[in-house]
Structure formats: C-alpha cells, structure tokens
C-alpha cells in the first residue's frame, strides 16, 4: 500500500496535502495506507478502480484524520459495475480490477458546509468499517448503481444533511450493521428515488436526526418521482429523537401514482422507536410487517398508516412515557384508507388521542377488510 507521506504529504493539519495524496493514488499502487496524522485536503481524492485496479484506504487504527475544506466528497471511489448481484451478470473487469474496495480506520472531518465523506459510483462489494465521519453534508453517498455495499462498526455523526444517502441509485444487497448514525439534520439513512431492494438495517443506534426544513426522519425512505422501496429489514435498532422534532423516527413515503406497489415487502421488528412528532409513518405501502417493537412518545401520534394494503401490526407496545412520567404527547394509532390490515396483540397504554376531534387511541377512517383483535387498550 502507498504511504502518502512518501509522495510528499505532511499530515500536519496545516499544509494542503491534496496533490500529494492524489499523486500517491495515481503513481502508487492505487491504495492508501495513512500513518497517524491530520491530512488537510481541499479537493476530492478520486480513486477510479478501472484505472488503478483494486483499491483500499486504510488509516492507522483510528489515529488518521482527513480534513476536507472543499466542496464534494473527501474520497470518490468509482467502478464500472454494469450488472446485478447475480454472478453471471458480473463482467470480468469487475473481478479483475474493481471488486471489494475497502475503507477502514480513518476519520473524515468536513470543514465546508458542502463537504461530503465518501461517494460510491458503480462499485461492487464496497466495505466501509471502523470509520468516523462527522460534520459532513452527506456521510456516505451511493449513486447511479452499486451492489453488495457493507457498512459496519462506524460512526456517522453531526451531519449537515444525511448520514447514509441512497441517491436515486440502482441498489441491491446492502447491510448496515453495528453503527452510530446520529445528529444528521435531514436523515440518518435516506433513500431518494431509485430502484432499491434487499436492505438490512440492524443493530444500529440511529438517533436525533432532525432539524431540516424539509421532511426529515431518522430513517427516511421516499420515492416522490420514481423508484421502489422494497425488501427492507429494519430490526433491532434504537431509533429515537426529541419530542419537538418534526417528521418521524421511520418515515416511508410511497407515491399516489403507483398506488401501493412501489413500497413493498418490508419488515420492521424488534426496534425501540421513541420521542418524535410521529414514530412510524408508512404511506402507500403493501405487505409490511410491524412486530415486536417498543413504540412510545409520539407528540402527534405513534403510528400512521396512510393508503396501505395487506399489513400486519402485531405484538408491539405502543404507549406514552411510563405512567407517572410527565408527558405532553398524544400518541395513538391512525389508519387512513387502508385495506386488509391486521392489528392484533398490541398493548396501547396512556394515550391521549381520544377526543371527538382527533379520534381514539385507535382511529380508522375509510378503511375496509381490517381486523382489530386481542389488543389491550
């Protein structure tokens, strides 16, 4: 691996090391092995694996800091993956030059409102682990096409907009596990449009992602123009915010023009969702299972399902703060224009949603073929 200091980088946090680091990529072996230090850059370090071959970025066990003072990503990793995750679709050039970019052991600190952490374009099996990305606009942005992305054991913190951003991306087979993704203004994890399937979000702490003027959520998945939200598993996470935070802990937004077919096959189970204007909102969803979650502290409500079909909401605790704890939340469940929904075996306690104006602890409007049974209300 190429040590940027051997190509002229200082790593003193004062001198601009952009050219030296890019020189290490272009003239070295296509990899970066940073020693301990603070490396100041003002432009994106571009790693085009179609030219460099296999690549990796490695810091010295967390003691390497990259400070990005310019706009755009600190690191832009490009491949030319044309296929899917099917081995028969992967071209030889992907296996021989591009597969499995690895980023580990570094901090990326943004010092520009439009600085990003890492951009990924047409990569296969990119793995990001043991990194810290903070005060960036987007922590990690995936766009156009990527496959088999893995993010593990990392911290994405205090972002100006998003932590992990699926930006109109053709994307399948993603695992996000064991991370802290917190204090990003728009969303901790954000999908905007794109053909997205097979996403596993599990075992993370995703908190306090709010503050943007536009809709925000700790996890925000929306397809206002085109695309699919499909085959997500959101399991065993702590997803919390503050009672004055607009938006929802999890907000999945389909679109009316596609009916319920673009948001589908989603499993939300075993999470703690709490303290936000709404805790879980799904609009135009189909075949979604919400089970075994602890849901509490919805300033306006806990759960809102709008134009959803064929869903199960079961064995959750849906309530305010514990009895005796001061709470100004309304909480409650609201079902709007839903068909074929089963709401069963939930515990709903201390809700304040019951009034002629706002309905009861469970309110249905214009719903059909729904079953509500064996709940404790």
Q: What whole-number distance in Å separates Cα of residue 76 and Cα of residue 120?
A: 6
Per-residue confidence (pLDDT) for residue 323, from 0 to 100: 57
Q: Are 348 and 318 in contact (CB under 8 A)?
A: yes
Q: Are 139 and 184 in contact (CB under 8 A)?
A: yes
pLDDT for 67-92, tens place per residue? 999 999 999 999 999 988 889 999 99
Specify the pTM.
0.96
Output the CATH code of domain 1-160. 2.160.20.10
Per-residue confidence (pLDDT) for residue 59, from 0 to 100: 98
Strand partners, 295: 273, 318
Query: Which residue ranges make up each domain of the chain?
Result: 1-160, 196-377
Q: Are 273 and 238 in contact (CB under 8 A)?
A: no
Low-confidence residues in the chain, pLDDT < 50: none
Per-residue confidence (pLDDT) for residue 143, from 0 to 100: 98
Q: What whole-number distance in Å separates Cα of residue 115 and Cα of residue 74?
A: 7
Per-residue confidence (pLDDT) for residue 350, from 0 to 100: 84
Please work out, in degrees rounded to the nearest 5, the angle formed at the alpha carbon of residue 296 by the alpha carbons of 291 and 301: 95
- The residue count of the chain comes to 377
Per-residue confidence (pLDDT) for residue 325, from 0 to 100: 62
Q: Which long-range contacts (CB under 8 A, 24 or more apart) does 295-299 make?
A: 295/319, 296/320, 296/321, 296/331, 297/243, 297/321, 297/327, 297/329, 297/331, 298/329, 298/330, 298/331, 298/332, 299/243, 299/244, 299/328, 299/329, 299/330
Q: What whole-number distance in Å separates Cα of residue 160 and Cα of residue 71?
A: 13
Q: Are 320 and 352 in contact (CB under 8 A)?
A: yes
Q: What whole-number distance in Å separates Cα of residue 190 and Cα of residue 167?
A: 8
């Amino acid at each position: 691996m190429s040590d940027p200091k051997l190509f002229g980088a200082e790593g003193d946090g004062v001198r601009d090391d952009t050219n030296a680091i890019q020189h290490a990529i272009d003239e070295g072996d296509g990899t970066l092995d940073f020693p301990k230090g603070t490396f100041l850059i003002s432009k994106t370090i571009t790693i085009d694996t179609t030219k460099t071959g296999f690549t990796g970025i490695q810091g010295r066990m967390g003691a390497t800091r990259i400070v990005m003072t310019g706009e755009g990503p600190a690191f832009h990793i490009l491949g030319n993956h044309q296929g899917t995750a099917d081995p028969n679709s992967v071209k030889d050039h992907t296996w021989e030059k591009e597969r499995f970019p690895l980023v580990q052991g570094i901090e990326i600190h943004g010092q520009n409102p439009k600085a990003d952490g890492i951009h990924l374009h047409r990569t296969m099996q990119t793995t990001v682990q043991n990194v810290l990305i903070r005060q960036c606009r987007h922590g990690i942005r995936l766009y156009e096409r990527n496959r088999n992305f893995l993010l593990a054991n990392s911290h994405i913190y205090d972002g100006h907009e998003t932590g992990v951003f699926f930006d109109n991306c053709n994307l399948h087979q993603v695992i996000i596990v064991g991370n802290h993704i917190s204090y990003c203004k728009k969303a901790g994890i954000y999908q905007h449009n794109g053909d997205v399937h097979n996403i596993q979000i599990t075992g993370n702490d995703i908190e306090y992602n709010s503050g943007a003027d536009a809709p925000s959520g700790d996890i925000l998945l929306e397809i206002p123009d085109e695309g699919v939200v499909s085959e997500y598993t959101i399991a065993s996470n702590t997803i919390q915010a503050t009672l004055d935070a607009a938006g929802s802990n999890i907000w999945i937004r389909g679109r009316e023009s596609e009916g319920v077919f673009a948001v589908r096959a989603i499993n939300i189970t075993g999470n703690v969702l709490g303290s936000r204007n709404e805790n879980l909102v799904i609009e135009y969803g189909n075949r979604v299972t919400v089970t075994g979650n602890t849901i509490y502290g919805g300033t306006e409500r806990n759960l809102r399902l709008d134009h959803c079909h064929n869903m199960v909401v079961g064995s959750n605790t849906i309530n305010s703060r514990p009895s005796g704890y001061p709470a100004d939340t309304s909480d409650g469940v609201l079902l709007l224009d839903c068909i074929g929904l089963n709401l069963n075996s939930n515990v709903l306690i201390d809700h304040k949603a019951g009034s002629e104006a706002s309905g009861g602890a469970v309110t249905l409007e214009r719903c059909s073929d729904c079953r509500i049974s064996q709940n404790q209300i």
